[in-house]
Every structure is written in structure tokens, then in C-alpha cells.
Structure 1
Amino acid sequence: MPTEFRSLPIPPPVLEGIESLGFKECTPIQEGTLPITLAGKDVAGQAQTGTGKTAAFLIALFSRLLKTEPSPSSKLSSPRAIVIAPTRELVIQIAREATLLGQKTPFNIQAVYGGIDYQKQRSMLAEGVDLLIGTPGRLIDYYKQKVYDLRRVEVLVIDEADRMFDMGFIADLRFMMRRLPPYHKRQSMLFSATLTQRVMELAYEHMNNPIKIEVSPEQITAEKVEQILFHVERTKKIPLLLGLLKRESWERVLIFVNTKNQGEVLANRLTEQGYPARAITGDLPQKQRMKALEQFKERKVPILVATDVASRGLHIEGVSLVVNYDLPQDREAYVHRIGRTARAGAAGKALSLADEEYVMALEEIEEYIGQKIPVEWPEDDLFVQPKSIPHSERIQRTRPAHPPSRPTKGRPSSSRPRRSR
């Protein structure tokens, strides 16, 4: 039987926040870490996004702050807890969940990240904050400007530590950790999709004898995800995808591709075929990425096409169908992708199209997840040929809403007459 939150020593204000979200029982990662973290000990936990690890560290964090008296304030803003995450989207998601879980607590919560609201974020941070959530670059930027200091930090959380290494943030992360109070004077929590040797070296270097909690890949892969694999020629992937979208029952679909160019092309093709879609890629400007995500969450756009880098940390409820248009070349990416559906105990489906370019990764993926992905051989009637779009209509769809004005032929009446030579 799963552990109920009420059976754990969680302060009433935090428990009220948990129950307001409709949660009663712990997920495996919460069940494994909360008894340790609520006792004030450090933990290094293996968990994917979508397994409840955000709530796991927030519940422990809020509980700790409610049980301890804050240190005397300094001249600078000085947070009592800090959460460091690798991407802007993940920072925004953590802050949103912290606001909901901490709604009955007195804590001031703020998120800082690159791309937007630089001066506004700076001013709010300077006014004081209890829980600070941010990306390494923006946190260091404000720290070096002496907008805040780290002398009062009681709780440190490092989220998605493996991705910190992958994205080249490890030097920035160590810069921050070396300026925190000593590890025995604070509580630290680290979460990572995999607890590799380099991740554990980081934990042992900057944490106080962390207890290692691992969830097996079988547990990490959502149990209620129905997985189906299609072997298909690369030239027939679009017709098969159109057929699957026609056959399956869905409201929102998340489609994964391996390259940004493929994402943009696929989103355009789907839109042309009557399936409105947006693409998010790593180099898309932040405002455009956030707009696309909001449109998807609000069901204004039913299909989102994403690369792995852009999708890291996505937390979107109600995604019943995930499609690996390109089979990922990293085994952990497969688990991460299909975990976008079947969240919070709901059922979901993950369809993967394995073509001749990417099929070589299949064996390693199946070995990692500990099972063979069921194969369905598509019948001819499952392939839907794309309808042709008139060339003039294609041009109209890509033309700017307000094309730049062109100069008129001849000399304007206001211009000077040309000098004779």
C-alpha cells in the first residue's frame, strides 16, 4: 500500500496545500525520499520529470522552513532556500507548483531566468525572497551584482543534475555551491534522471553524506503508458502519422523529433493538413516558446512538436498521446518522452515510428526499459496521403501580415531634382 501524506510528519500548512491539489498517496520517489528529508537528512534521488519529484523536494523544503527560525537578515536580500534547475521552462514549472503547494505558507517565492523581465526580476529579488528558484546563469548574474547573498540559505535543491552536466552548467553550479553556508549547516537535495558517477561525485563533494534513493527504470517508465512501435520507411512517415492522428482518440498530442529543422517542417506540414501545430526548439526565442506552450496548454493549438532540449522539464496535464516521430538516439530520452503522458496516474499512449535512419537505437532502448516494445505492422489503409496545397496558398500562409511598403516607381514629388552633370 502506498504511503499517505497524512501519515508523515508534514506541517499542517503544507499538508493543506497537498490536499488542495487532490493528492493523498505518495509516488515511489516521494515514498522513498520524504521520510529521509523530513528528518533533515540529505538525499540524492533518481527520478524523471513527471514522477512527483518536484513535490517531493518542495514538501520537504517548506516543512524545513516552517520548523526553523530564520537567521538575522542582512543588508542584502538573502533567500532561505534555493532551487537550481537547468532550463527556463523547468524553473517556471517548479515556481508554479511551489505557489500551489505553498499557498497556505507565509513564504515569498520568486523565479529568475533568462529571456524576459530582467529589471523586474531584479527589483523583486532585491526586495526580499524566501524561496528563490532559478537557472544558473541568471542566479549568478544577480549574485555578482550584489542583488542578494547566499549566507542565510538553509535548503539547497539541485534539480536534473545530469542535465546540468549535459548543458555545460557544472562550473556555474559549483560557483554557487561554494558560496553557500557549509554543507553541515544546510540541508541539500539532489535529483537526477540517472545517478551516474559524476553526479554522485558532485553530491559527495557538496552534500552532507547524502542517502541515495534510486527508482528502477521499470518504475520510472509510467506503468499506464501503452507503447506501440511501427517500423516504417522514412518516406512514408508523414502518411502514417496522418493515419494515426485520424485513428487515435486524442485532444492534445506531443510529437518528438530529433532536429529543430525537422520540427519546423513537421509543424508546417501538419498545419497544412488541417492539424494546427506549433514547434518549439532550443533556439526559439523565449517569448515565442512560452507563447507556444501556453497555446498548447490552453488547447488553442492541439499539437506541439518538440525537440528533447526544448521539451526538458515540460509538465503539461492532459496529454493522452505522445508520438516519437523520430526514434530517440538516447535511451533515457525515450523514457523522458513517453513520460509526458500518463501523468498523475492517468492512462496514456506512446507511438514510435522507427525508420531506417534511427532504428539502430531500438535495441539499447529496449534493454534500458527492460521490455520489448510491442510492434504493430500498419495495414495499407492506415497510411493517409497528404492533400496537395496550392502553391499560392503556401505563399499566402508564409507571407507577413503587414508586408513592408515598397518604393513607388519614379521620383517622389518631395525629392530634390537631380543635378545635371
Structure 2
Amino acid sequence: MNETQDVSANHLSTQTFSNLDICEPVLKGIKETGFDYCTPIQALALPIALGGKDVAGQAQTGTGKTAAFLIATFHHLLKTEIENKPTSQLRALILAPTRELAIQIYEDAKPLNMHTGLKLGLAYGGTDYQKQREQLEAGVDVLIGTPGRIIDYFKQGVFNIKKLEVMVLDEADRMFDLGFINDIRYLFRSMSPAEERLSLMFSATLSLRVKELAYEHMASPESVVVETDRITAELVTEKAYLPSNPDKLPLLMGLLQAHAGLRCLVFINTKRMAEKIQATLNANGFENGMLSGDVPQRKRESLLKKFKSGEVNTLIATDVAARGLHISDVGLVINFDLPQDAEDYVHRIGRTARAGATGVAISLICETFGMHAADIEKYTGHKLPVERNYEDLLVKDMVIVEPPRRDKRGTRETRPDARKNSSTPKPASRVQKPKVAAIEPVKLKDPKTAAQSKPLRSRISRIGDVPAVG
């Protein structure tokens, strides 16, 4: 059975939570959070899930998917009383593709779980390994986390899922994108049979591979789809400019000045460019933060906290932050680089205009990434609205900073990856020692010997483009 609802006009449905068959402790938490009416995805999914049937749901980000599966999970667990439950036995498992999303789900669960008596647990990589392990060993009912860390603890016997009552997979399509799908299947095969648990799967898109996963590991799930007239969020105002590469940074500065006061996410494709933008904004008096894949977890959490509180108004991000983050009041998204995947465009601009709010998404179609505009327009079904006059927005007097290259670490900007090809020349540090020892200290007097040494010197200096010493 498939249920579809068009939400091109309204953010909320006419369905109230009080009219749904939700147990009192959960309903009390809903009321205390200030929720009265369901969003469309909640109105479609909750009656099915509350009845104990599996759901595969599709809706755009920021439409209330998280609250839908949390409410259904808590209600399902409270319907059944478990006596003498072993400490290691999990009752519900909620999987998310990223650390930030797992943390966000955990925070959203707290107020809804206030009166249930259920113990929540959180497990994700990058930090607090022993602390998280000790929390799980003490016993939790609902575990929220990322696949890698959860499988790590599971294989060590920290908890078991043989009698799991609820399984939730959030952002299922992103699990495929990030390469987690084998881990997901491993967990599905290790837990209770599909017929003995409630399974809920939510995704921005119910692609063929997501549907196959659902029908392989769920018990006849019902599909619920919330459709809009456009793939992109309905309340987002899209704009695009056609700057040259040298104009991109001055234009970015001008856009930030023109939208001063708005909380802004700036998306880029490479960490190197993220560092350049951050350094340039700092040099010109724009307080900002940068979120990328290799930022330490504690620093990431601290930065997101500052951004959510408004202490930092501009966040520069690679696509690690494009999915799953729920940050209210993001008024502006700037695609400094067009994404190379059209679907990522939708996820990026979906960071604004969430939960019924409005927002602006501006894309810079430049020489380097402009070729991706056609794919984006084909995927979204509409042209990007291009504004050709942007001269007045360019900041004339500004400092542009190039971040230092990390030569010693052999970053991609400074040397090829020797592991990809065994014939790749050795790095400079491995060539200099024999060159200095064999050539520089030796004073050659025999012309024949000197003549023979010149090709050797030239050959060594060409390896890895190592400059001659001396």
C-alpha cells in the first residue's frame, strides 16, 4: 500500500497528535514540546506505525521525519512491558549515517522521552569511546548512533539485538552514498526476524536500492510519500550568479554583507577552498567557523553549538554537513561551488526554509563547476534563476588569504599519492640524502669523471621534481 500527500501549500496537516492513539507518557512529552498538529509525513506515517506495521517513508528534510519515528518507537516500547530484561539487551536501535545527525536525533529524543522511563544511549565515532561503552554496559533501552561505532561495540558483546523490538534506519539513501550498506545488512541479519519487530525507514528519496533494502529486511512495509510540486523545498528562493573564478570571493563577501544578520551556510567542494575562505573571511573581519570531515569531533560539536546559538553566524562546510543537520533559522545557503552531484544540491539548500520557514539559496556558477548546472536543472525540473548583474555586490578592497600548504604531510595539493601507483617517484625526502652524499661533498678533478657525474645529477634532480642542492 502506498500513501501520498501533496504539501505544496501547507507545512502542517489538519491531523492533531491528541487524536492519534499515542500512549499518555509520549503524548505528554509531545505537548510539552509545543507540538499540536502533525506535519504531512507524521500524519501519514504515524497511524501505520502506531498500529505496529512497518513504514518506508519519503519526505524532504526538515519535515518532521525524526519526530515521527521517535514517537512511534517510544509508543511501541511502552505497549509491551519487559520483565527481568538483561542489561545487555537493546529494545530499539536507531541508525544514522553521520555523527551530527545521531547527536541531533538524541537531542530531539530527550523531551519526547521525558515521561517514558526509557533509557537512551548514544554511540558514534571520533570521541568518548570508553565513556560510551560504559553507558551501554550499564544498560540502555534505545540506542542511537552511527553504524561503525555500533558494530564495534556489538562485536565485542557490549549489547545484543537478538530480541530487538524496534529498528529505525534514518537517511537510508545516505547510508548507500557513504558506503555503510554492508554494515547495515550485517546488523539486520544479526537482529530479531523482521516479523518480530517494528521497522521504520525514512529517506529523502525512495530509490530502487532503498526499496530493495526495505523489502529484503522489513515485513511488508507500507510506503508513505510526501510530494511537492518541486523537488527543492517549496519555501526556498533560489538565485544564481555567473562570476569568474577571481570574482567568487569578492562576491561572497558582498553577499554576506547584503544579508547581514542572517545565519548562513556556505558550501564548498574541497577542504583546501574551505580553508582559504575561512582565512579570508577572518582577515576581513567576518567571524566564521569551518566544518569538514577531518575536524576533531569535540571541535565539531562545539562549533555546531556556537552556530545554533548564533554566536557564529557563518558556517563554511563541505558536504559532511549537507545532510541530517537540523539547525533552525538558517536564512541563507550559498553554494560557493556547485555540487558535482545534483542530489547534493537539493540536500544543501534544504538546510534553509525548514519547518515552514522561508529561506534564500544562492549558487555561484563559475568556470570550474559550472558544467554541473545542467544536471542540477534536469534533476530539480526547473532552471536556476540567474541574475547577471552582480558588479555592485563585489567587495573591492579586501584581503584574500592563501592558507599554507602542508608539504610535510604530503597533502594532495603538494604531491601525488604514492600508494595509488607503485611506479610513482619517491618523495623528495627520500632522494635528497643520497644526492647530497654522492654529489655535493665530492670535488671532482678528473674531467671524465665530472662529465659522467652531470647526467647523474640531472637525473636525480628530476625525480619528484627535487631541486638541485648546492
Task: Provide TM-score, normalisation by structure 1.
Answer: 0.88
Q: Among residues 285, 291, 305, which one is paired with 1:274 in the alignment? A: 285
Partner residue in 2 for 1:8: 20
Partner residue in 2 for 1:188: 199
Rounded Cα–Cα distance in structure 1 between residues aligned with 2:401 and 2:170: 48
SS at match of 2:355: helix
SS at match of 1:150: coil
Mapping of 1:58-137 within 5 angstroms? 58-70=70-82, 72-74=84-86, 76-137=87-148
Superposed structure 1 runs of 4+ greater than 4 Å apart: none
- Change in 2 beyond 3 A, CA 1:388/1:179: closer
Partner residue in 2 for 1:250: 261
Alpha-carbon RMSD = 2.0
Q: Among residues 34, 41, 64, which one is paired with 1:29 in the alignment? A: 41
Partner residue in 2 for 1:160: 171
Rounded Cα–Cα distance in structure 1 between residues aligned with 2:258 and 2:65: 34
Mapping of 1:267-306 within 5 angstroms? 267-306=278-317
- Gapped regions of structure 1 (runs ≥ 5): 396-421
Q: Among residues 208, 226, 232, which one is paired with 1:197 in the alignment? A: 208
C-alpha distance after superposition, 1:287-336 (max 9, x if no partner)? 22222212212222221000112443211112111111111121211111
Larger radius of gyration: 2
SS at match of 2:190: coil
- Change in 2 beyond 3 A, CA 1:117/1:379: closer
Partner residue in 2 for 1:39: 51
Partner residue in 2 for 1:342: 353
Partner residue in 2 for 1:307: 318
Deviation, 1:19, is 2.3
Q: Among residues 298, 316, 324, which one is paired with 2:335 in the alignment? A: 324
Greater mean deviation of Cα atoms: 365-374 or 295-304? 365-374
Partner residue in 1 for 2:219: 208
Partner residue in 2 for 1:369: 380
- Change in 2 beyond 3 A, CA 1:220/1:379: closer
Rounded Cα–Cα distance in structure 2 between residues aligned with 1:28 and 1:331: 25
Percent same amino acid at aligned positions?
52
C-alpha distance after superposition, 1:156-180 (max 9, x if no partner)? 0011111111211111111111111
- Gapped regions of structure 2 (runs ≥ 5): 1-12, 405-470
Partner residue in 2 for 1:17: 29
Rounded Cα–Cα distance in structure 2 between residues aligned with 1:68 and 1:298: 39
- 2:94 and 2:169 in contact (8 A); partners too: yes
- 1:91 and 1:134 in contact (8 A); partners too: yes
Rounded Cα–Cα distance in structure 2 between residues aligned with 1:102 and 1:367: 42
- 1:217 and 1:369 in contact (8 A); partners too: no
- Structure 2 letter corresponding to 1:144: K
Q: Among residues 231, 235, 238, which one is paired with 1:227 in the alignment? A: 238
Deviation, 1:86, is 1.2
Partner residue in 2 for 1:260: 271
- 2:338 and 2:369 in contact (8 A); partners too: yes
Rounded Cα–Cα distance in structure 1 between residues aligned with 2:213 and 2:275: 37
Rounded Cα–Cα distance in structure 1 between residues aligned with 2:390 and 2:290: 29
Partner residue in 1 for 2:64: 52
- 2:50 and 2:75 in contact (8 A); partners too: yes
C-alpha distance after superposition, 1:205-226 (max 9, x if no partner)? 1100111222336466322211
Rounded Cα–Cα distance in structure 1 between residues aligned with 2:161 and 2:401: 60
Q: Among residues 161, 175, 179, which one is paired with 2:186 in the alignment? A: 175
- Change in 2 beyond 3 A, CA 1:384/1:43: same
- 2:168 and 2:201 in contact (8 A); partners too: yes
Rounded Cα–Cα distance in structure 1 between residues aligned with 2:30 and 2:401: 53
- Structure 1 letter corresponding to 2:394: F
Deviation, 1:389, is 7.4
Deviation, 1:108, is 0.7
SS at match of 2:57: strand
